[in-house]
Every structure is written in C-alpha cells, then in structure tokens.
A = this chain, B = another copy of it.
C-alpha cells in the first residue's frame, strides 16, 4: 500500500534501470557531459543521434530546446525519486532524512551524466527555461531542508539554518556526479554509507539512529 506504482512513477526510488531518454536526448546528454552545451555543435548532436542535421530539427526546434527537454526530464525524475524516498521513510524523521540523502546520492551516481549536465548547464538555459528547471530543483532542495529541520527537532540540535544546511548538503551530494565512476574503487552502497555519515554529522545528528 502506497508503494505500488501509481501512474508510471518509479516504484522503487532505489532501483535504476537504463536511463529512459529518447535517442536524441541520450546522445545530447553524452555530448553535453563531455564538452558542455556551448562547445557541442548541432552536427555532433545529429551524429550522436544517428540523424542528419535537419532530421534532428524535425524533432526539436533548436539546440536550446534539446537542452531544456533533457533537463526537465532529469529534474523531474530526481524530484519524483526524492518524493518516493521521502514517503518510504514513514514517520521517522531520521529515516526520512536518510532516505532523502540516499536518494540524492544514488541519483547522482546512477544518473551521473544526467545530474552533471543538469547542474552545470542550468546557466546555458534562457531565463524562461531556466526558471522552470530551477523551480524543480528548488522543490527538491526544499524536501531536503524540511527533513533536516524535522530530524534536528527530534535530536534537539539547532533547528536553525536548515536552508543553509540543505544547500551545503545538496552541493556535497551533487558533487558526487563529478567524480563517481561505475568502475571506481567504491561501490554505490559504500559511498552511500560514507556520505550518510558525513550528512548526519553535517546536520548535527551523528551517532544517533
């Protein structure tokens, strides 16, 4: 109850299949991750999508539209998973906090390129598109701030500055996308473990739970 899939949402926020991006966006993702949006030409995007240049324009009106489409999908998936994680934490504030952080971490490992591009290329969006994506990102961050606040209440540490802590914590987790490699020395589970330690310490809830 409550964990059954509703309307195509990911049933399990911990499980990651292959990225569900359409071919063009998958190709664009790779190129943007490698050289950045500005340094990626339409030709590269077309090649990556195994299309001619006008073929690409048949699906998207502009390079900018490709970027927004990609980022909206990414931020939406992140938000969906964050919500699912939050819900899975039940009533225990610390469990909810842990789940939120873990979700953020896993996303930045299993959707490494997506997350990396989403954070580095926000600046490449035109204002209108950017604000839509920033809204999604902020909503996600708000979840984190709330769980921090709640967790701190229970363990009677300071409950102030939850927003600052959320931003710091978020930055820390987002940074994982910068260096994580599937074939690196640490397994995702191990990374989650270590970072959860960092995270609890950061909010002043270490040693508990």
Contact = CB atoms under 8 A, between A and B. Distances in A.
Interface of A: 35-36, 38-39, 120, 123-124, 161, 164-165, 167-169, 171-172, 174-175, 178-179, 186, 194-195, 197-198, 200-204, 206
A126 to B, nearest CB: 12
Contact of A198 (B38, B165, B175): B165
A152 to B, nearest CB: 11
Interface of A: prevailing SS:
helix
A39 to B, nearest CB: 5
A167 B179 contact: yes
A167 B174 CA distance: 12
A171 B175 contact: yes
Q: Please tell me how many copies of the chain the complex holds.
A: 4
Given A38-B38, A168-B172, A168-B195, 18 more contacts: A36-B123, A39-B124, A120-B120, A164-B194, A165-B198, A167-B175, A167-B179, A168-B198, A169-B172, A171-B171, A171-B172, A171-B175, A171-B178, A172-B175, A175-B175, A198-B203, A201-B201, A201-B202
Nearest to A179: B167
B175 A168 contact: yes
Nearest to A40: B38
Contacts of A198: 164-165, 168, 202-203
Contacts of A124: 36, 39
A49 B189 CA distance: 50
Contact of A206 (B35, B168, B172, B204): B204
A37 to B, nearest CB: 8
Contact of A201 (B38, B120, B186, B203): B203
A31 to B, nearest CB: 13
A168 B201 CA distance: 12
18 contacts: A36-B36, A36-B38, A36-B124, A38-B39, A161-B194, A164-B198, A168-B172, A169-B172, A171-B171, A171-B174, A171-B175, A172-B172, A172-B175, A198-B203, A200-B201, A201-B202, A202-B202, A206-B206
